[in-house]
Amino acid sequence: MARPMAGDQRWVRERDAKLRKQALQDEADLREMLAIPAARRYMLRLIAKAGVFSGGFEANGSRLYAREGVRSFGLDIVRDVSTAYPGLIESMLRPPEVVEDSADVAEKDNDEEGDLND
């Protein structure tokens, strides 16, 4: 059997369809996995270990290249997570005190308004 050629339009369409189907399945798998809080915490630790949130400077060139390679992989993970769950990375990085319950915010607003009218 002859190898398919890149110029074979039928082969190209079939290959592209398989790649799209696999990408959709990968995204669905990641979305399902990230629905679990423990998986989200683990993913954040993995991204942090990859050095995504730290500077990459290293005096030794070989170590710099190695660290940047690991960081690049971490950025790939961030891209995949951000595609599956837009805004998830940002919400995972937000300090807990910044995330307020909307009912608490509304209650604070009402209390402040009451103080002004007294």
Contact (Cβ atoms closer than 8 angstroms) between residue 60 and residue 69? no
Neighbours of 64 (CB within 10 A): 13
pLDDT of residue 97: 61
Per-residue pLDDT of 42-96, as tens digits, reads: 988 999 899 888 776 777 778 888 888 888 999 999 999 998 888 888 887 776 6
Residue 100 or residue 50, greater confidence:
50
Task: Give yes or no for a contact between 76 and 91, defined as CB atoms under 8 angstroms apart.
Answer: no
- Measure Cα distances from 68 to 49, 65, 72 in Å: 12, 5, 6
Report pTM: 0.62
DSSP for residue 2: P
Burial pattern 66-86, b for ≥16 Cβ within 10 A else e, equals ebeeebeebeebbebbeebbe
